[in-house]
Chains A and B, each alone.
Chain A
Amino acid sequence: MASWLTRKSIIVGKLTKYVNDCTKRLSSHFIYYPDNEKPVAGETIKMNMMQAINNAMDITLRDDPTAVLFGEDVAFGGVFRCALGLQDKYGKDRVFNTPLCEQGIAGFGIGLATAGATAIAEIQFADYIFPAFDQLVNEAAKARYRSGGQFDAGALTVRTPCGAVGHGGLYHSQSPEAYFAHTPGLRVVMPRGPITAKGLLLSCIRERDPCIFLEPKILYRSAAEEVPVEDYTLPLGKAQVLREGDAATLIAWGTQVHVLLEVAQMAEEKLGVKCDVIDLMSILPWDEETVCNSVKKTGRCLIAHEAPLTSGFGAELAATIQEECFLHLEAPITRVTGWDTPFPHVFEPFYLPDKWRCYSALSKLIEY
């Protein structure tokens, strides 16, 4: 009887382990660190990032009669539900589906901006923004410069979900910020959660330069915070220091910020050192001052991003930091990033620059 029970419990135990392993494979690689500081006083509502983005677009459509929101499948609310309810509220001529054609969406948005309307375009996944690359890089980015300021596409904001999601494979996981960071005239922005998403998106929409707003899709539902109800913006081109220390500067953007926040916590617990953690937020133009001031203080720097290493935006940061902080650096600048491969499906846990890879690199950096 006892042995039968034991055997049964072993079977159940094995089953549980199997199920757990399966779930673990699909679970996210980070712990979400909610924002505690509110950018403005006043009433707040608990929102996830999808709802915060919806709220920012709601405010825009409410206050700016020229504003329109369009893309593939936005009319029914969008495949990530960011546009939920907006067509019912503002009408079919303001929130509408386009044909399935990214170069058309981007070009159409530039035209709207040229004629004086506020254009919020959605590209369904950042992986599919490349057909619009020509329109964004050759047209939107250069419109003001080439016309001597007579025309511009400043009223265009392109929103697009990016980053790892657990099982997105090659074409539902990419982080293309570095491609655009090589394009003078564009602003490239990535929030780390609901509060930053609302504030930065409203800034992008109102900014007089064309903006690419990259939304880490894994945060749409997993990230929830008390978000101010009223209208507020966060400055573009400015980074935020989220945690302070003197041992090293850790720099990331998007989901990866949460990985580095945990790494900083681990470093404090296991190594007894404190680190600066910086959310870059604006990839282009980026906040050289905040970053370099921090590195001058700490003397060590670790940069982490999901995108591949070679020519990733970390390279730009490392080169500038090296030039500006040469005499302050106590160790080589370390980059922990995705590997130089396409983004794989079943190997995602080995591909991502997770907390263990970052922690290991930070340990070496501090011992250097």
Chain B
Amino acid sequence: MALRIGVSFVRLNSLRHAARLLSTHTRPEVFNNGGSISDFPGARAPYVTEMKFLNENSYDLIPIYRVMDKNGDIIDSREDPNIDKDTLLHMYKTMVQLSQMDKILYESQRQGRISFYMTNYGEEGIHVGSASALSHRDLVFAQYREVGVFLYRGMTITELVNQCYGNYEDPGKGRQMPVHYGSKQHNIVTISSPLATQMPQAVGAAYALKRVPNNDRCVICYFGDGAASEGDAHAAFNFAATLDCPVIMMCRNNGYAISTPTSEQYRGDGVASRGPALGIRTVRVDGTDALAVHNAVRRARELALDNKPVLIEAMSYRVGHHSTSDDSTAYRPVEEIQKWTKEESPIQKLRLYLERKGFWDADAEKQCVKEARDTVVRTMQEAEKKKRPHWKEMLEDVYYDMPPSLQKQMNQMEKHLEKHSEHYPLSQYQHE
């Protein structure tokens, strides 16, 4: 009996090896030499007698999963997520709201009313597709171009605009540049400018959640194709895999890192190809297709809660400029931008899908856009009237308790302002 089990185990093993060899495209001539497997601790691999270097063409290109076509038609009905009407409408309205906010805040930066802004044009599908597949308790680590996720979660336009103005109602107390949002209440970790630093942090947070008894939360970490070149990205992938963390690494591959096209960012098959190399379950999706993103994230969340990290590469196109400090026509053709605006807009795709379902029409659209615009304009007018926080907030929160050295500096500044207040814009700041 024991012998038979042994034999069947050997057979099973050789079958597994055969299957693995067929599934890669390295085609080692393993059967010529008996197909023996090495005992090197670093890799359980077969020996071959033919020397063959692998390159980026050694593997099939990772396909892009999509659910709808550009007309909002479901391609394979089995893949329709059949999301309920309320959720679908929330997804769509969030996209419209985001797009209107982007338009108005971008313009307000051009007029000098806020110092800086970054739009989300072309990537709204990634935001709402992923946000709708997560629990609101899942922890979000973002890069900076994920505001749709925050809106979907319930952060208000008021909160976002207050941050951009740095007024006293900004929970960040006006310390960071615009678009560096964060909300403890909505489980959105405050954004920082250094790229990819949030990635190993997301993995650490996921490890902490994993250790909570009966954990039902995961972490999602958003990053761009450029940030994926940082050392922290490699650290994050490798730590996530070796430490079995419940984390979804969500790459927004929009083709550009400021002016740098992906051809100058990497030579492999995008970011997705790095996932399997590090032992991470990986999928590539059409980021302009909110339903495809939703399906991928929903499945990824199940895997993550089983402590299997997942990498998702959502393909998209950065329709807007990198930021208000950038004119992207200096490094890419206008026709290219227009193609993605007109033909592959994630907002348009979801609208067509909703219209086919009978959930949406031209009137609803008109009203939704108007409401979204009015909300932003009204909020901006209110935000502009609010003063900035008291200057002493500049010295708070460095440490949990203010050390004596910093108290001394606060006293110095206080005395200075008593004598020279006329040289400072004190009237724009709160008083005691």
Contacts and interface: CB of A to CB of B under 8 A. Distances in A.
Given A111-B208, A117-B208, A151 B400 contact: no
Interface stretch (A131-139, A212-220, A296-304): A131-139
Interface stretch (A97-105, A188-196, A360-368): A97-105
Nearest to A135: B197
A289 B396 CA distance: 22
A144 B204 contact: no
A108 B197 contact: no
Interface in B182-234: 182-184, 189-190, 192, 194, 197, 199-209, 211, 219, 231-232, 234
A150 B190 contact: yes
A142 interface: yes
Interface in B43-88: none
Contact of A111 (B173, B190, B202, B231): B202
B41 interface: no
Interface residues of B, number: 48
A109 interface: yes
A99 B403 CA distance: 36
Contact of A138 (B141, B197, B203, B207): B197
Nearest to B403: A285
Q: Which of A116, A146, A289 has the most CB of B within 10 A?
A: A146
A93 B207 CA distance: 9
A62 to B, nearest CB: 16
A146 B200 contact: no
Given A144-B398, A148-B170, A112 B176 contact: no
Contact of B405 (A98, A145, A208, A288): A288
Given A104-B200, A104-B232, A289-B404, A112 B208 contact: yes
Interface in A282-306: 285-286, 288-289
Contact of A110 (B172, B201, B219, B398): B201
A142 to B, nearest CB: 7
A72 interface: no
Contact of B232 (A93, A107, A114, A117): A107
B242 interface: yes
Q: Contact residue range for chain A? A: 35 or more
B208 A131 contact: no
Contacts of A152: 400
B404 to A, nearest CB: 7
Given A109-B204, A145-B175, A103 B232 contact: yes
A169 interface: no
Q: Which of B182, B204, B397 has the most CB of A within 10 A?
A: B204
A68 B207 CA distance: 10
A115 B205 contact: yes
Q: Which of B141, B183, B194 has the most CB of A within 10 A?
A: B194
A209 interface: yes
B205 A112 contact: yes
Contacts of A185: 398-399
Contact of B194 (A66, A139, A148): A139
A95 interface: no
A350 B7 CA distance: 68
A152 B401 CA distance: 13
Interface string A63-74: 000101000000
Contact of B180 (A68, A115, A135, A146): A146
A149 B406 CA distance: 17
B208 A146 contact: no
A96 B211 CA distance: 13
A263 interface: no
A154 B190 contact: no
Contacts of A145: 175, 397-398
A146 B399 contact: no
B296 interface: no
Given A98-B243, A134-B194, A185-B398, A115 B208 contact: yes
B238 interface: yes
Contact of B173 (A148, A187, A286): A148
B239 interface: yes
A119 interface: yes
Nearest to A108: B204
B291 interface: no
Q: Which of B189, B209, B235, B399 has the most CB of A within 10 A?
A: B399
A142 B192 contact: yes
A260 to B, nearest CB: 24
Nearest to A153: B201
Contact of B182 (A99, A139, A151): A151
A96 B197 contact: no
A114 B201 contact: yes
A64 to B, nearest CB: 12
Nearest to A97: B242
A168 interface: no
Contacts of B201: 107-108, 110-111, 114, 135, 139
B139 interface: yes
B236 interface: yes
A265 B404 CA distance: 33
Nearest to B394: A145
B35 interface: no
Interface in A111-129: 111-117, 119
A93 B211 contact: yes
Contacts of A187: 399
B204 A114 contact: yes
Contacts of B238: 99, 101, 104
A283 to B, nearest CB: 12
Contact of B172 (A112, A119, A147): A147
Interface in B121-177: 139, 141, 170-173, 175-176
Contacts of A288: 404-405
A184 interface: yes
Given A103-B235, A108-B207, A115 B139 contact: yes
B403 A114 contact: no
A208 B403 contact: no
B239 A108 contact: yes
A151 B243 contact: no
B160 to A, nearest CB: 15
A237 interface: yes
Contacts of B406: 184, 285
A135 B203 CA distance: 14
Interface in A58-89: 66, 68
26 contacts: A66-B208, A68-B211, A99-B235, A107-B199, A107-B236, A108-B200, A108-B207, A108-B243, A110-B200, A110-B201, A111-B202, A111-B207, A112-B207, A115-B206, A116-B208, A117-B207, A119-B204, A135-B200, A138-B194, A139-B192, A139-B194, A143-B190, A144-B397, A146-B172, A146-B180, A149-B397
For the complex of A and B, the 7 pairs showing the least CB-CB separation, nearest first, are A111-B204, A107-B200, A104-B235, A147-B190, A115-B208, A111-B201, A108-B204
Given A99-B239, A111-B203, A149-B397, 10 more contacts: A98-B239, A107-B232, A114-B208, A117-B211, A138-B194, A138-B197, A139-B194, A144-B400, A148-B172, A154-B400
Interface of A: 66, 68, 93, 96, 98-99, 101, 103-104, 106-117, 119, 131, 134-135, 138-139, 142-152, 154, 184-185, 187, 207-209, 237, 285-286, 288-289
